[in-house]
Structure 1
Amino acid sequence: MTAKLPSPVVLTGRHIRLEPLERRHLTDLWTAVGPDPEVWRWTMASVPGSEEEFGAILDTRIAETASGESVYFAAVDLADGRAVGVTGYHDYSARDESVEIGGTWYARSAWRTAVNTEAKLLLLRHAFEDLGMGRVFWKTDARNERSRAAVLRLGAQYEGTLRRHRLRPDGSWRDSCYFSMLADEWPAAESRLAERLARG
């Protein structure tokens, strides 16, 4: 059976809501993130120096969602209703039943909280159970140890590293580490993620 392609939807958990990224999220996200070099360190975007530059980054992601190239979500903290980060689906194929989760960044205030864990739980559940994907994958900068460790904690498997894969904004070349999770691995991963969220 062929999988369904991702489309903008609202996914709600106990701590956060993932909703289609829109311009109305700009102020919350800029306030949360600002020109924090650590937030942008491992992304493929340069550090925005102003809210206007940040808005241009958001506009690109919103346009990619509108064109069907990607589907970006704002992660909204249910405690105060403010957006604290962005994540999304990319490089998807219904025929191959495959989708990437990526383009993710969060405000430092959301680091080491339930935000990323629940966002991944929501995205994985939607990908496997609603869209019928057989494989979900991630790619990270090989030097980004925090991100690599976070993906492995989800229950993903390391697949390999593409050398000299992408040009970074600073002109250096990035090696990309690939990780994946398959549909038959999802039930066990879901249980572990649910337990982690329950522990707080």
Structure 2
Amino acid sequence: MTARMPAPVTLEGDAVRLEPLTLGHVPDLFLAGGGDEEVWRWMPAPMPHSEDELGKTAERLIGDSGHVPLAVILRETGRAVGWTTYIDTPGYADSIEIGWTWYGRAVWRSAVNTTCKILLIDHAFDKLGVNRVQLKTDILNTRSQAAIRRIGGVHEGVLRRQRRRPDGTWRDTTYFSILDDEWPAHRARLLER
């Protein structure tokens, strides 16, 4: 049995608010990271060169029943600075994935990613009742792997040639997870920081 996909939800923390992604977020999102090769380097879609292209990518994500996309709103400005999603995990019992996450460079190395992950993981364990949160990334995306490890992700392995990148090359995907009984200690450590 897989975890039931959650309904779109709004989650609030000190640094960010997560709210259901809409096309109304696209102008802010494009300003935050559209056209930035570094932001889009490891994403599963080509880098958008215009608001229209980003809107089409957002529209596909919003319309995909296997994803619950959330806009990341910086509380300080009220502007969208990225997005993140809950993703269905067929074949994994009582599990959910957090992924398809990107943030504009202006909020890298800030409290944004940690706050988002605390909100999403708390909700997954406390409200959705999953026992496992999965995270994955391109094997070449060492920055993302370090961030996943920082929040407590345990490396599970690598699926070789798991899918094609937007440029046509093969991507090896590295998998991590956090279990419900592991999370309280990781959460406490993250909040102390």
- Normalised to the residue count of structure 2, the TM-score between the two structures is 0.95
- Structure-2 residue corresponding to 1:169: 166
- Evaluate the alpha carbon distance shift between residue 94 and residue 9 of structure 1 in structure 2; reply closer, same or farther with a 3 A threshold: farther
1:4 Cα deviation after fit: 4.8
Which one is further off, 115-124 or 42-51?
42-51
- Percent identical residues: 52
Structure 2 residue identity aligned to 1:38: E
Structure 2 distance, partners of 1:182, 1:43, is 25
Q: Report the counterpart of residue 192 of structure 2 in structure 1.
A: 195
How do 1:1-200 and structure 2 match up within 5 A? Answer: 4-64=4-64, 68-92=65-89, 96-196=93-193
Q: Deviations over 1:35-61 (max 9, x none)?
A: 000000000111112111111111111
Deviations 1:52-72 (A, max 9, x none): 1111111111112xxx32100
Assess, with a 3 A threshold, how the Cα gap between structure 1 residues 91 and 107 changes in structure 2: closer, same or farther.
same
1:132-163 per-residue CA deviation (whole Å, 9 max, x = no partner) reads 11000111100000000000001110000000
Change (3 A) 1:53 1:95: closer
Q: 1:47 to 1:5 in 2, by over 3 A?
A: closer
Q: Equivalent residue of 1:132, what SS?
A: coil
- Deviation (angstroms), 1:5: 3.2
> 1:9/1:94 Cα in 2 relative to 1: closer, same or farther (>3 Å)?
farther
CA distance in 2, matches of 1:128, 1:111: 26
Gaps of 5+ in 2: none
Moved over 3 A (4+): 2-5, 92-95
Match of 2:109, as an amino acid? R
How far apart, CA to CA, are the structure 1 residues paired with 2:6 and 2:34? 29
Q: Any conservation in 2 of the 1:99–1:137 contact (CA below 8 Å)?
A: yes
> When you count helix as a share of all residues, which structure comes out higher?
1
Seen in structure 2, the aligned counterparts of structure 1 residues 189 and 69 have a Cα distance that, compared at 3 Å, is same
Q: Is the alpha carbon distance of 1:94 and 1:45 closer, same or farther for their aligned partners in structure 2, counting shifts above 3 Å?
A: closer
How large is the RMSD of aligned CA atoms in angstroms?
Answer: 1.7
Q: Which moved more, 1:113-122 or 1:91-100?
A: 91-100
Q: How many residues align?
A: 193
**Aligned-residue offset at 1:189:** 1.1
Give unpaired runs (5+ residues) of structure 1: none
Q: Could you tell me how far apart the structure 2 residues matched to 1:133 and 1:58 are?
A: 26
Tell me which amino acid in the other structure corresponds to 1:41. Answer: R
Residue 7 (structure 1) shift: 1.4
Distance 2:95 2:24 in 1: 30
Q: Secondary structure at the match of 2:46?
A: coil
For 1:143-185, what per-residue CA distance to the aligned partner results, in whole angstroms no more than 9, with x for missing partners?
0000000000011100000001110111100000000011110
Q: State how far apart, in whole Å, the 1-side matches of 2:46 and 2:156 are.
A: 28
